[in-house]
Chain A
Amino acid sequence: MRRLIAVAAVVSAILGLAACGESEQVIVYKQGKYQGKPDGKPWEGEPLLVTDAKWTKGDKASWEERIKQRNQGQNEYKRIYQQ
């Protein structure tokens, strides 16, 4: 009888401590993956003939150079002094 009580006490202690477990409180967000259609790159097309835009088709570096050059159009200090 005494043994049975001891076993019951141990079991109840284990069950009681089970509630003290620590579960993760912070949700870990799993970054989604794009599910849509693939998009082309801006430098993959031919430059328009009607503008002064020049780059080599498919060459990213030349397109970037073109964009950087065009960006200077927003710098009025350079625009004014160049004239």
Chain B
Amino acid sequence: MARMKFLCDAERCIECNGCVTACKSEHEVPWGVNRRRVVTINDGVPGEKSISVACMHCSDAPCMAVCPVDCFYRTDDGVVLHDKDLCIGCGYCFYACPFGAPQFPQAGAFGLRGKMDKCTFCNGGPEEDRSAVEFQKYGRNRLAEGKLPACAEMCSTKALLGGDGDVIADIYRERVFKRGKGSEVWGWGTAYGPGKPGAAPAPAAGAKS
């Protein structure tokens, strides 16, 4: 199987925050912690785009690299998880993460930083699968229930896709072909320009879509 991945289609995201709500509700995430959030680019300007962001479960995760207590691990499906019993709440991972995924619950009158909390791709953590302890520490383990992340499954416009990387890439590709635009937003064209590998990137011309 390919790695588990998220993909957010900026053409479809309507900034409804349904994914954020689904995540909060599914995992009973504490106040002040947002495992997922919606970011809007050019907010208020005609043509603004929104995108839902959480832990992207990087293949070469910077959080794993900087963690002083090595509490991160990667599952067979490419999901980056961590052991809260080991986490010391230092916050290095927050500085290392390009997406701002690691969250720290504030506890006590002096705002003590708790142990790190982040999106688990609805895959729980290092506790017995589907147990109460796992739910309390990491949230629901939907993958062990044969389901996919709640945010992606609840997305009303299906802007947010989550699951097997190959499958969601196919879904997105089919969508792009059907609507006739959007291929330039993600993928080879964006990274390396049109045509064959090594070809010169296309000159920027007008709006993306």
Contacts and interface: CB of A to CB of B under 8 A. Distances in A.
B65 A36 contact: no
Contacts, number: 110
Contacts of B82: 36
Contact of B147 (A41, A64, A70): A70
A70 B1 contact: no
Interface string A17-54: 00000000000010111111111111011011001011
B15 interface: no
A41 B130 CA distance: 11
A77 B146 contact: no
B83 to A, nearest CB: 3
Interface size band for A: 35 or more
B69 interface: yes
B167 A36 contact: no
A68 B70 contact: no
Interface of B: 1, 64-65, 67, 69-73, 75-77, 81-83, 85-86, 123-130, 141, 143-148, 152-153, 155, 158, 161-164, 167-168, 171, 174-175, 178
Contact of A34 (B65, B72, B123, B153): B72
A68 B1 CA distance: 9
Contact of B145 (A33, A48, A75, A76): A48
21 contacts: A32-B65, A32-B67, A35-B86, A36-B82, A39-B124, A40-B144, A42-B129, A42-B141, A45-B129, A45-B144, A51-B146, A53-B146, A53-B147, A67-B164, A68-B1, A68-B163, A70-B163, A71-B148, A71-B164, A73-B153, A77-B178
Contacts of B1: 64, 67-68
Nearest to B167: A71
A8 B129 CA distance: 74
B163 A34 contact: no
A34 B167 contact: no
Nearest to A31: B65
A34 B73 contact: yes
A38 B77 CA distance: 15
